[in-house]
Chains A and B, each alone.
Chain A
Amino acid sequence: MAKICMVVSEGTFDKAYMPLIMANTAAASGDEVHIFYSFFGTKLVTKKANPKLPGMFRLFTGMFQKKMKAVGIGNYMETFKQAQELGVNFYACSTTMDLMGVKKEDLLPNVKVLGAAAFLKLAVESEATLFIG
């Protein structure tokens, strides 16, 4: 059982799924997981989250989603919900919420607002910290 922290700074489809897949695997292995969303990542923990592939690949998001569905991976919100059911902890960066125009009421349920100092405390207490984009 380990404590794992992740930082997500981008809001695209790939950067949205990777931490959730890692987190769900870790939580299913008995780990305590904390994910901190900053900058463009912040919108991934809002009710309006609908991540698309980056750049021109954006057009292929639906196709990707379909392929993932075929191997048992649900859409973004389903995967997010699964992570919460597995006990993964989600945090939104307080400063970038302001920059990105995200209000507390826009956040998905049980997403906590956190500052850098509080997150760093979690990170130094962790066995691993992963930075996702």
Chain B
Amino acid sequence: MDATLDAKGLMCPMPIVQLAKKVKELKSGQVLELLVDDVGAKEDVPAWCSRTGHQLMGVEEEGKLLKFYIKIK
């Protein structure tokens, strides 16, 4: 893991807007952990990854909390 973005408490579109901003700070191949509890994020983050080309390596669910692991393209 190279960085963590804590987007807990934020709702659509803010997790995605902040994710896009954060990804710009990272280098290709680095892995970002995204923490989010917006229910919409479950579908939004995979959709965003598939559209932007960043690789979604995995998701973990802990109750309402979602942890996404994204490899920067």
Contacts and interface: CB of A to CB of B under 8 A. Distances in A.
A25 B9 contact: no
Main secondary structure of the interface of B (DSSP, over half): helix
Interface residues of B, number: 16
Interface residues of A, number: 13
Interface string A20-41: 0110110011100000000000
Contacts of B13: 21-22, 24-25, 28, 73
Contacts of B10: 71-72
Contacts of B51: 29-30
A102 B63 CA distance: 50
Contacts of B38: 71
Contacts, number: 39
A86 B13 CA distance: 13
Contacts of B3: none
Given A71-B9, A72-B9, A73-B11, A25 B52 contact: no
B45 to A, nearest CB: 11
A82 B44 CA distance: 20
Interface in B1-33: 9-14, 16-17, 19-21
B13 to A, nearest CB: 4
A71 B52 contact: no
A73 B16 contact: no
Contacts of A70: 9
Contacts of A24: 13, 17
Interface of B: 9-14, 16-17, 19-21, 38, 44, 48, 51-52
Interface of A: 21-22, 24-25, 28-30, 70-73, 82, 86
Given A25-B16, A28-B16, A28-B20, 18 more contacts: A21-B12, A24-B13, A24-B17, A28-B17, A28-B19, A29-B51, A30-B51, A30-B52, A70-B9, A71-B9, A71-B10, A71-B11, A71-B14, A72-B9, A72-B10, A72-B11, A72-B14, A73-B11
